Structure 1
Amino acid sequence: MAEQKLRLDEAVDVLKAAGEPTRLRLLLLLAGGDLTVTDLTEILGQSQPRISRHLKLLGEAGLIDRYQEGAWAYFRLRGQGESIALVRAILGAADGGDPVLERDSARLKALKQTRSERAQDYFARNAAEWDALRRLHVGEQEVEDALLDALGRTPVSRLLDLGTGTGRMLQLLDGLYEEATGVDASRDMLAVARANLDRAGVSRAAVRLGDIFNLPLEAESFDLVTIHQVLHFLQEPEAAVQEAARLLADGGRLAIVDLAPHAVEDLRDEHAHLRLGFSHAQMLSWLEQSGLSLTRVVDLTPSTAANRPLTVTIWIATKGVAHVSPPVDVGQAAQPLAAGAR
Structure 2
Amino acid sequence: MASFGLDELVEVLKAAGEPSRLRLLSLLASADLTVSDLTDILGQSQPRISRHLKLLGEAGLVDRYQEGAWAYFRLREDGSAVSLARQLLANAASDDPTLLRDTARLAAVRQQRSERAQAYFARHAGEWDEMRRLHVAEAEVERCLVDLVGRKPVQALLDLGTGTGRMLLLLKDIYRRAVGVDASRDMLAVARANLDAEGLNRAVVRLGDILNLPLEREDFDLVIVHQVLHFLDHPDQAIAEAARVLRPEGRLLVVDFAPHDLEYLRQEHAHLRLGFSHQAMEDWMTRAGLKVERVVDLPSGHEGRQALTVSVWLARDPRLLIAEQKDTHSVRSA
Aligned partner of 1:6 among 3, 7, 12: 3
| 2: CA distance, partners of 1:155 / 1:112 | 29
Aligned partner of 1:274 among 272, 275, 290: 272
| 2: CA distance, partners of 1:288 / 1:268 | 28
* Unaligned stretches of 5+ residues in structure 2: 323-334
Say if 2:156 and 2:178, in contact at 8 Å, map to a contact too.
yes
Deviations 1:140-199 (A, max 9, x none): 111111101100111111111111111111111112211111111111111111111111
In structure 2, the residue matched to 1:109 is: 107
| 2: CA distance, partners of 1:11 / 1:255 | 43
| 1: CA distance, partners of 2:305 / 2:75 | 47
The structural deviation recorded for 1:204 is: 1.2
Say if 1:302 and 1:308, in contact at 8 Å, map to a contact too.
no
In structure 1, the residue matched to 2:65 is: 67
In structure 2, the residue matched to 1:186 is: 184
| 1: CA distance, partners of 2:139 / 2:306 | 15
Q: Does 1:19 align with 2:20?
A: no
The structural deviation recorded for 1:11 is: 4.0
Higher mean displacement: 215-224 or 112-121: 215-224
Instruction: State, as a whole percentage, how many aligned pairs show the same letter.
Output: 64
Is the alpha carbon distance of 1:258 and 1:81 closer, same or farther for their aligned partners in structure 2, counting shifts above 3 Å? same
Q: Does 1:98 align with 2:86?
A: no
Is the alpha carbon distance of 1:320 and 1:11 closer, same or farther for their aligned partners in structure 2, counting shifts above 3 Å? farther
Say if 1:260 and 1:313, in contact at 8 Å, map to a contact too.
yes
Question: Structure 2 counterpart of 1:244, which letter?
Answer: A
Q: Matches of residues 14-93 of structure 1 in structure 2 within 5 Å?
A: 14-93=12-91
In structure 1, the residue matched to 2:325 is: none
* Unaligned stretches of 5+ residues in structure 1: 324-342
**Count of equivalent residues:** 320
In structure 1, the residue matched to 2:174 is: 176
The structural deviation recorded for 1:228 is: 0.5
| 2: CA distance, partners of 1:307 / 1:19 | 65
Question: Structure 1 counterpart of 2:286, which letter?
Answer: E
In structure 1, the residue matched to 2:213 is: 215
The structural deviation recorded for 1:29 is: 0.6
Structure 1 or 2: larger helix share?
Answer: 2
SS of residue matched to 2:134: coil
| 2: CA distance, partners of 1:114 / 1:281 | 46
| 2: CA distance, partners of 1:77 / 1:120 | 27
The structural deviation recorded for 1:208 is: 1.1
SS of residue matched to 2:178: strand
Question: Structure 1 counterpart of 2:240, which letter?
Answer: Q
The structural deviation recorded for 1:307 is: 8.0
| 2: CA distance, partners of 1:145 / 1:16 | 49
SS of residue matched to 2:114: helix
Say if 1:260 and 1:278, in contact at 8 Å, map to a contact too.
yes
Deviations 1:263-292 (A, max 9, x none): 222211221111111111110000000001
Say if 2:217 and 2:246, in contact at 8 Å, map to a contact too.
yes
Report the TM-score, using the length of structure 1 for normalisation: 0.90
| 1: CA distance, partners of 2:222 / 2:77 | 16
| 2: CA distance, partners of 1:264 / 1:216 | 34
